[in-house]
């Protein structure tokens, strides 16, 4: 089977959606004999250097006509098209009218390929003074059109699926929900926490810059010492490296995915301040989970969306701040629970789900 995957950007561009699609393409090819080509249709273009593992095309202009012409020129080449929907990637205000119009017209073409949409994100929200507030109705309109004409719908969060299911006029009421998989690899074997180095890992990307980021790093450094860790590794940001009698802080501005995996598999714990309601779409959390790390979060104890719970799969920051934190934290148990949660949407599990959906849609 040959399919086309449409993304805003493709590797080597820094783009979580692009990485997701590329890794998915590898798994679909290797495990299910489904072969992908890529169409980069985002607002920013980073041309791959040299040859690429998969054929990569660039849409010459972001218009419905350009996309329809691209598909028409290759009539019969692709049995299905997978659209990775991330609205701001296709239009700077998150309102890609051109994409909705093209998707609708594609669905009406004679012998059209089957259309599968993965909704990585939905609409934005914000205060009355923000552009997101005023553009939200138009963003929802675009999403509704794309969903209505899709032959299959996927997303990464339960709340996204709930919104999509209640849209009128869907071809199919089913919405496949699978949190994202790790962009940093999935080790075949993970060691118990106590067999690893006493180190904690955090990503600085996504945190507020300046004093806020520095404050967060200092807070995690204090936590690391309380928890008996000897090293704190900060990935993707600029931290002041220092060493005292109890803790070494190391900064990594950029690391290839394979090197990140080596670091994660050697550590015992990790920290994330990602919004607890959106953790299912966090590639960083997925990376931690794939490497069976015990993850600290500011989320309050109790149930979270998408099958997670602070105190079960995740360590509550409040427990770490307790007088005797090691008495309240079982890092072996939380790491193992998070890893089991991850196995249900690992790269192999996700690829199998896509393969089934692609074959059923024919």
Q: Which two tokens stand for residue 279?
A: 């953790």
pLDDT at residue number 329: 82
Same domain membership, residue 197 and residue 310: yes
In a domain, 214, yes or no: yes
pLDDT at residue number 127: 64
In a domain, 185, yes or no: no
CA distance 321 to 323: 7
pLDDT at residue number 323: 61
Spatial contact of 286 and 295, defined as CB atoms under 8 Å apart: no
Q: Which residue intervals of 150-189 are DSSP H helices? A: 158-165
Q: What is the pLDDT of residues 271-289, one digit of tens each?
A: 999 999 999 999 999 999 9
* φ, ψ for residue 6, nearest 5 deg: -100, 125
DSSP symbol at 314: B
Distance of CA 337 to the CA centre of its chain: 20
Same domain membership, residue 167 and residue 105: yes
pLDDT at residue number 209: 45
- HSE-CB at 155 with a 13 A cutoff on CA atoms is 21
pTM of the model: 0.93
pLDDT at residue number 214: 77
pLDDT at residue number 85: 98
pLDDT at residue number 238: 65
CA-derived radius of gyration, the chain: 21
pLDDT at residue number 361: 53
Q: Is 83 exposed, middle or buried (0-12, 13-18, 19+ CB in 10 A)?
A: buried
CA distance 285 to 34: 28
Instruction: Give the structural domain span for 284.
Output: 193-343
Query: What parts of the chain have a pLDDT lower than 70?
Result: 126-130, 132, 205-212, 237-242, 323-328, 361-362
pLDDT at residue number 324: 66
The CATH number linked to 205 is: 3.40.50.2000
Same domain membership, residue 284 and residue 207: yes
b/e burial code for range 230-255 (CB count within 10 A of at least 16 → b): ebbbbbbbebeeeeeeebbbbbbeee
The total of structural domains in the chain comes to 2
Same domain membership, residue 10 and residue 147: yes
Same domain membership, residue 151 and residue 40: yes
Same domain membership, residue 231 and residue 336: yes
């Amino acid at each position: 089977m040959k399919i086309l995957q449409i993304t805003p950007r493709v590797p080597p561009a820094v783009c979580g959606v692009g990485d997701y699609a590329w890794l998915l393409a590898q798994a679909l090819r290797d495990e299910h004999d489904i072969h992908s080509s890529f169409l980069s249709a985002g607002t920013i273009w980073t041309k791959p250097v040299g040859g690429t593992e998969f054929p990569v095309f660039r849409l010459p202009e972001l218009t419905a006509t350009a996309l329809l012409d691209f598909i028409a020129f290759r009539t019969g080449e692709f049995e299905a098209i997978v659209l990775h929907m991330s609205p701001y990637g296709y239009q700077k205000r998150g309102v890609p009218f051109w994409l909705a119009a093209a998707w609708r017209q594609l669905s009406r073409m004679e012998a059209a390929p089957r259309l599968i949409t993965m909704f990585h994100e939905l609409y934005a929200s914000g205060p009355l003074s923000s552009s997101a507030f005023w553009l939200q109705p138009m963003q929802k309109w675009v999403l509704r059109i794309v969903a209505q004409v899709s032959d299959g719908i996927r997303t990464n969060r339960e709340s996204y699926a709930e919104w999509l299911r209640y849209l009128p006029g869907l071809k199919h009421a089913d919405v496949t929900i699978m949190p994202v998989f790790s962009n940093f690899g999935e080790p075949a074997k993970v060691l118990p926490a106590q067999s690893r180095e006493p180190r904690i890992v955090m990503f600085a990307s996504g945190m507020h810059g300046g004093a806020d980021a520095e404050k967060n790093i200092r807070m995690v450094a204090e936590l690391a010492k309380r928890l008996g860790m000897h090293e704190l590794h900060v990935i993707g940001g600029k931290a002041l490296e220092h060493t005292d009698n109890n803790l070494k802080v190391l900064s990594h501005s950029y690391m290839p995915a394979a090197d990140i995996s080596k670091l994660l598999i050697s550590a015992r714990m990790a920290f994330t301040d990602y919004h607890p309601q959106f953790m299912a779409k966090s590639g960083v959390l997925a990376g931690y989970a794939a490497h069976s790390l015990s993850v600290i979060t500011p989320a309050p104890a109790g149930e979270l969306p998408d099958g997670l719970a602070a105190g079960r799969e995740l360590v509550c920051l409040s427990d770490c701040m307790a007088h005797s934190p090691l008495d309240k934290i079982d890092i072996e148990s939380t790491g193992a629970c998070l890893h089991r949660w991850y196995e249900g949407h690992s790269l192999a599990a996700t690829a199998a789900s896509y393969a089934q959906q692609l074959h059923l849609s024919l």
